[in-house]
Structure 1
Amino acid sequence: MSENKAVKASAAGGRNTLARLGPLPWIGPAVVLILLVVVWPVVEMVLTSLHKIDGLGIDYGFNGVGRYQKLFDDPRFGQVMVWTVVWTVVVVALTMLISLGLAQLFNQQFPGRRYTRWALIAPWAASVIMTAIGFRWMLDEVAGVFNTLMVDLHLIHHPVAWLGDASHSKPWLIAVAVFVSLPFTTYTLLAGLQTVPAEVYEAAKVDGATPWQTYLRVTLPLLRPSFLVALVINLINVFNSFPVIWGMTQGGPNADTSTSTVFMYLLGQTDIGESAAMSVVNFAVVIVMVLLFLKVSRWNEEG
Structure 2
Amino acid sequence: MHALVRKIPACLLAAGAALAVCQPAPAAGPYPNTSNFGVPFSQDEDWYRQCMRVERLQPPPSAMKAPAGCKARELYYRKRGQAQTSPAEWELVRACALENHDDAVLMMMYANGDGVAQDSDRAIHHACTLDFVAKAEMEGRIAHLAKGPQPGKRFDLCDDVTSGSMGAVCADLHETQDRRVREARLDRAVRALPAASREAFAILCRAAARYAEAGAEEVDAHGTAAAGFAIQRQARLREEFMQAALDAIGGKLPSASAADATARDGELNQVYREVMAIPSTQPDWPDRIGDSTIGHADVRKTERLWLAYRDAFAAFAASLPSGDERTAVTTLLTVQRVDLLQKIARWR
TM-score, normalized by length of structure 1?
Answer: 0.24
Higher helix content, 1 or 2: 1
TM, length-normalised to structure 2: 0.22
Q: Using CA pairs under 8 Å that are at least 6 residues apart, name the structure with larger relative contact order, 1 or 2.
A: 1
Give the number of the structure whose alpha-carbon radius of gyration is greater. Answer: 1
